[in-house]
Amino acid sequence: MSDLLEGRTAVVTGAASGIGRAIARRYAEEGADVVVADIRKEPRLGGPPTHERIQAETDADAVYCECDVREIDDLRAAVEAADEFGGVDTMVNNAGVTGPIGPSHEASVEEYEAVRATVLDGTFYGSKVAASKMIADETDGVILNIASSAGVEAFGGLTPYSAVKGGVRLLTYGMAADLGPEIRVNAVLPGLIETAISKKDTGMIGSPVEEKLRESTPLGRIGCPNDVADAAVFLTSGMSGYISGESLLVDGGLTNTD
């Protein structure tokens, strides 16, 4: 496409599937080498593993690193894997799960802890480890968190998810204040995006909720992973050099207008 990320090296968590896969691919198209950090290698909706696709279809390099973001040592290993390409300068905390669906008081402690550990702890660990490495390497670093519009408005039924995604938003603002001027920290807040989460886990895609959301969305459609990937390129490239502590809704205009 172009070379907005030429010479950069990104670690993208949850990049085997969905939004993370699209971000990894768009980064490679823009010239960045990528560490695909995920608990699984195969995409949840099928197709070749992300790193193989990048190697086959772009001029960039990519490697898969088995990584459970609930484990800080796994994130350390993912960040170290980027040394092969010159060291991490872009960290994308994307890995996520939706957690319990239904009335919050019926969620088990284990279900609550699982979504908190992946989404909130995983984002904190990834940011902490990457920021420490960027500072030690005196790298011009960028951190991007994939939060959610559900972390801005809580509509019930996904309350633990909303709560931890709201936490990711505040983590973004706080870390931007802590880490400037060396490191920029921003977040993308996607609305409903067509991936395995929305098709298989919440079942929103293909349900009456999808149609209702489509009708209420000013731009008249459900989002696709590349909509988020384009925003990710913007927020981690030189195009956003004076933007930090910002969260960008990518939801077709739904939030605050419905």
Spacing of C-alpha 127 from chain mean position: 12
CB 172 within 8 A of CB 187: yes
- How many of the other CB atoms lie within 10 Å of CB of 154? 15
Query: Between residues 142 and 228, which has the closer beta carbon with respect to ligand NAI?
Result: 228
Q: Provide, rounded to whole angstroms, the least separation between the CB of residue 242 and ligand NAI.
A: 26
Burial of 226 from C-beta contacts in 10 A (0-12 / 13-18 / 19+): middle
Q: Which is nearer to ligand NAI, 130 or 139 (CB)?
A: 130
Nearer of residues 30 and 38 to ligand NAI, judged by Cβ: 38
What is the C-alpha separation between 248 and 151, in angstroms, rounded? Answer: 12
* Closest CB 153 distance from ligand NAI, rounded Å: 12
Question: How far apart are the C-alpha atoms of 232 and 251, rounded to whole Å?
Answer: 14
Nearest C-alpha neighbor of 184 from the set 224, 130, 144, 239? 144
The Cα 27–Cα 172 span in angstroms is 21
- Sorted by sequence, the CB contacts under 8 Å of residue 131 that are 6+ apart come out as 91, 141, 143, 175, 179, 183
Would you say 10 or 197 has its CB closer to ligand NAI? 197
Shortest distance in whole angstroms from residue 247 CB to ligand NAI: 12
Supply the residues annotated as catalytic. 161
Q: How far is CA 55 from CA 7, 36, 48, 226, 236, in A?
A: 16, 12, 11, 19, 21
CB of 105 to ligand NAI, least distance (A): 22
Task: Look at the block and give the residue holding tokens 């605050």.
Answer: 256
Nearer residue to ligand NAI within complex by CB, 46 or 181 = 46
Which residues sit at the interface with ligand NAI, rule CB under 6 A?
13-14, 16-20, 38-40, 44, 67-70, 94-97, 118, 146, 148, 190, 192-193, 195-198
Least separation in angstroms between CB 225 and ligand NAI: 6
